[in-house]
Structure 1
Amino acid sequence: MILSIDTSTTVCSVALHEGDKLLGCYELYTERTSAAMLTTLIDNVVRHTGHELSALDAIAVAKGPGSYTGLRIGVSTAKGLCFALDKPLLAINTLQALTEQVRLLPHPQPLPLKQGEGGFYCPMIDARRMEVYCAMYDADGREVQPTSAQIIDEQSFAEWLERGSVLFFGDGAAKCRPVLGNHPNAQFLDQVVQPSARTVGALASVAFAEGRFENVATFEPYYLKEFMTTVPKRLVV
């Protein structure tokens, strides 16, 4: 039984899985709710499915990339539960979980082909301005390009678009559409798909079976980029 947490974006969600079976999931789509409501959602999903925290076998968390604040909240909460309950920690890439969610949507599978080659999934998380956090996955959900921060321009993803259809999705895809939308192999979901603990938990069940646990003491979120702050200059008189 795995409790999963995803606070890597503005969405705050928790889910409880028993094996690959989803027992319950709570999601909030109101910004700035993660810190205030995360522990309440955890308590609700466990109690309302008729279980207790002591029955958990592991805690899973979306490790990023994503919001610095959101990732800190989610990972800190997950680690706190692991220490308090003496349970192992599982960490899932947010973009991988987002891709798995899209793969389960009722659109034609596999993606349209070009010259016998399969299509690709490109999950995107908004990183402000014209930058996105993204990766590339094949039609079976296997990573074919690692997670990276990309500044979008007319040449972005040219190699992948020449190889086959690419489906762009996530809250970062909107800024990509005006730039790449005219390419015949560029596809975009009409709906915005947000990360969810539901698919974090599904992937965590596989990671649990394979023994891919994290070191609770040393684990840190996958920020991808260094956190930048602007310190105002002092006025000298």
Structure 2
Amino acid sequence: MVLLGIDTSAKAASVAICDETQLLAEAMVNTKLTHSQTIMPMVQSMLENAHIALNQVDAFAVSAGPGSFTGLRIGIAAVKGMAMALNKPCVAVSTLEALAYNLRGFEGIICAVMDARCNQVYTASFRAHSGAVERLTEDSALPIEELIRQLTQFQEPVFFVGDGAGLCYNNKNVCLFDARLAPEHMVNQSAASVCRLALERMKAEPLAAVGAEAISPVYLRLPQAERELRQKQAAL
């Protein structure tokens, strides 16, 4: 099976192609260009370099959230367009769980964190052991201080990964547990990890692959404009 994955959930955008045994190609950009400018040219270039035609792709995987509201919509729209045109299935995965797969070979607690602004992060915790990743908490949006408090329960090393990793690692209270920062080349969201997680999901759950129309973003909280509107309405 050939799987094409996309992640546009944060500032870095990436695409990857893998089969059931190996990563075949990957591309990533972390620039000020919008994902709508970069994602499809990256897909085209990657396919050409890998000598794989788009119609040879058997399924598509996408990071469905949490993350940037606009970024998630761009990535999902790209996957929907390709999958619908080819009548191929899709797998949506958690951005945070895919981040944990960046550190799959580590031993300890993986805390995936994404900057949600206003001193909050999107986060979930996992335990990595013997090459496997076990989910410990559900995806949620938390104040950084609350997350740090929760992490003090662990006696194992806690590895921060994601674009919010630095915010948490530099918090004054991380001295209360064995906090570590993911290596720079592993800290950002990765389409290769999206592909790896999607493949495992399909093996474990035959119904994980669905039609493109069933894929939708997972935001965890309302967009800022809607939150501000509700605050104004509540104040009236």
| Class of the TM-score when normalised by the shorter of the 2 chains | 0.7 to 0.9
How many residues get paired? 219
Please give the TM-score of this superposition, normalised by the length of structure 2: 0.85
Asked if structure 2 preserves the Cα contact closer than 8 Å seen for 1:58 and 1:82, the reply is yes
Structure 2 equivalent of residue 33 of structure 1: 34
Task: Give a deviation string over 1:194-236, Cα, whole Å, max 9, x none.
Answer: 00111111112222334211342132111111112157x9xxx
Give every structure 1 segment of 4 or more consecutive aligned residues whose post-TM-superposition deviation is greater than 4 Å. Answer: none
1:1-237 correspondence to structure 2 within 5 Å: 1-104=2-105, 109-111=106-108, 120-140=109-129, 141-153=133-145, 155-165=146-156, 166-176=158-168, 177-189=170-182, 191=184, 193-210=187-204, 211=206, 212-229=208-225
Asked if structure 2 preserves the Cα contact closer than 8 Å seen for 1:20 and 1:202, the reply is no
1:13 CA drift (Å): 0.8
| C-alpha distance in 1 between matches for 2:103 and 2:154 | 21
| C-alpha distance in 2 between matches for 1:188 and 1:135 | 16
Q: Which amino acid aligns with 1:220?
A: S
Please give the TM-score of this superposition, normalised by the length of structure 1: 0.85
CA RMSD of aligned residues (A): 2.0
Stretches of structure 1 lacking an aligned partner (at least 5 in a row): 112-119
1:159 CA drift (Å): 4.4
Distance 1:160 1:184, change over 3 A: closer
1:18 CA drift (Å): 1.6
| C-alpha distance in 2 between matches for 1:5 and 1:47 | 16
| C-alpha distance in 2 between matches for 1:195 and 1:137 | 16
Stretches of structure 2 lacking an aligned partner (at least 5 in a row): none
Task: Give a deviation string over 1:140-189, Cα, whole Å, max 9, x none.
Answer: 31111000001022x53434422323222222122222232221333333
Q: Which amino acid aligns with 2:149?
A: A
**For the pair shown, which has the larger CA radius of gyration, 1 or 2?**
1
Identity, in percent, stands at 31
Distance 1:130 1:216, change over 3 A: same
| C-alpha distance in 2 between matches for 1:197 and 1:156 | 26
Asked if structure 1 preserves the Cα contact closer than 8 Å seen for 2:14 and 2:27, the reply is yes
